[in-house]
Structure 1
Amino acid sequence: MENITALLADPAAWAALITLIVMEVVLGIDNLIFISILSNKLPEGQRQKARRVGIALALVMRLALLTMVAWIAGLVAPVFDLGWSGAPGPHGEPSFETAFSWRDLILIAGGLFLVWKATREIHHNVDHDASDETVDGVVGKATLNFGSAIVQILLLDMVFSIDSILTAVGMTEHVEIMYVAVVVAVLAMLLAADPLANFINRNPTVVMLALGFLLMIGAVLIADGFGVHVPKGYIYTAMAFSAGVEMLNIFARRRRERRAGSA
């Protein structure tokens, strides 16, 4: 109790909390896009339930991992080394890391899964048969069962949760601050889940954009696993720019449709 009181009176702790909440919310965007796309492939009555279960699992996993902070921090210790670094970089440094930790292996596996899943969904959206269409007229709807969706969400929750907790560990040493930041970030995900999924559902072009985001995130996870660290600020700036351009396209399209309807 005394520790919590001391934290409440410490301006540095509040600054760390606000910074960490913002970081956790931003990192949760990847998770949320995946959950939204996957849940939209379920029958109408199961979509909201899948999103809530998926986000609840993300919260449970993050809180459980926070109770094992020491173990999580140990995931960055190398478990094996290939002993070969490929062609040297411009300053003679290895072109990529060859000592792999459990964190690296988890990121590579999660990245490969994301790349495979996004590529598969893009293929279904671009090259589909008439039999793939559903009553809603959107490709890929109701093509997944609830259990399969939850398993896939759980796998990606694990990858994003480990990344999220390692980020939190690197920003503050106070577990209490990490707990609060994680809970606030996941609650924000819960509030944004339905509006985001419904928006993606109503705009087929946004589906392709979101799948492109997942493809890029998967590639970044793989690169990170191999020691090639791409600053996340660049990734999210590119995503925000692309989303902004798509919003302009949607507004322009709706305006044309209104004019055509009033003519």
Structure 2
Amino acid sequence: MEASLALLQDPAAWAALATLVAMEIVLGIDNLIFISILTNKLPEAMREKARKIGISLALVMRLGLLATIAFIVKLTAPVFTILDQGLSWRDIILIAGGAFLVWKATREIHHHVSADEDAEEGGTAKAVQSFASAIGQILVLDLVFSIDSIITAVGMTEHVQIMFVAVIAAVMAMLFAATPLANFINRNPTIVMLALAFLMMIGMTLVAEGLGTHVPKGYIYTAMAFSAAVEGLNMLARQRRQRRRSGQAH
């Protein structure tokens, strides 16, 4: 109790908390994009429930990992070596999770391209996914992103109380943003393809990290922000063209 009160009076602790919350929110974007795309394939009545369950699982998983932080730190110790490259359990999890993300994004891109081709030919292509399948896939990626998130938090502060508050704040922000983001992605087909490209890039980054090649997160998120800004300009241009056509039609 005294330690917590001391942290409340320490400006450095507040600065660490603000930095960590911002970092956790940024890291949560990857998780949120995946959840949004996956739940949008469910029947509309199930989407909100699936998003809440998926994000709640992310919170439970992160808090559970924080409770076993001594074990999490040990995950970074090499367990075996392949071609002079030491691999830890964290590396193995990142490689497996990254490969799964690349596979999933590739499959979704193929589905969207096939759906467009079927639509041009007059047919229909509708994704069918069960609720359990969606939750299972979300759970797998929650685990990968949670381990990456907690290890990042451990590297930024030694105070577990700050980590707990930062994780809860970040997941609450994810919960608040989940439905608006999912609806925005669902309304804009080009955004879906862009988001899938982001997921593929994130998956490759996770694999690279697992193989010992550090990719600065700033580069990744700067590229994502730039691509999103360009797509935003394209959407604005399309809206203006549609308004002009509507005005000419009247």
Is the TM value for this pair above 0.5?
yes
Give 1:14's aligned residue: 14
For 2:237, the aligned partner's letter is A
Give 2:231's aligned residue: 246
Tell me which of 135, 140, 160 is aligned to 1:155.
Answer: 140
Give 1:89's aligned residue: none
Q: How does 1:1-263 map to 2 (within 5 A)?
A: 1-82=1-82, 84-85=83-84, 98-128=85-115, 130=118, 140-141=126-127, 143-263=128-248
SS at match of 1:236: helix
- Higher helix content, 1 or 2: 2
TM-score normalised according to structure 2 size: 0.95
Distance 1:151 1:122 in 2: 20
Deviation at 1:259, TM superposition (A): 1.2
Distance 1:50 1:261 in 2: 38
For 1:247, the aligned partner's letter is G
Q: Tell me, yes or no, if the aligned pair for 1:124 and 1:140 is still in contact at 8 Å.
A: no
Deviation at 1:28, TM superposition (A): 0.1
Aligned CA RMSD, in angstroms, stands at 1.4
Q: How many residues align?
A: 244
For 2:209, the aligned partner's letter is D
Unaligned 5+ segments in structure 2 are none
Deviation at 1:140, TM superposition (A): 4.7
Distance 2:177 2:160 in 1: 26
Distance 1:51 1:262 in 2: 39
Deviation at 1:61, TM superposition (A): 0.3
Q: Tell me, yes or no, if the aligned pair for 1:106 and 1:159 is still in contact at 8 Å.
A: yes
SS at match of 1:227: coil
SS at match of 2:87: strand
Deviation at 1:130, TM superposition (A): 3.5
Deviation at 1:262, TM superposition (A): 1.5
TM-score normalised according to structure 1 size: 0.90
Structure 1 segments of 4+ aligned residues over 6 angstroms from their partners: none
Instruction: For residues 219-260 of structure 1, give each alpha carbon's deviation from its aligned partner in whole angstroms, at most 9, with x where no partner exists.
Output: 000000000111000000000000000001111111111111
SS at match of 1:127: helix
Distance 1:108 1:203 in 2: 31
Distance 2:134 2:205 in 1: 23
Distance 2:206 2:53 in 1: 24
Closer/same/farther in 2, CA of residues 106 and 234 from structure 1, 3 Å limit: same
Distance 2:225 2:176 in 1: 20
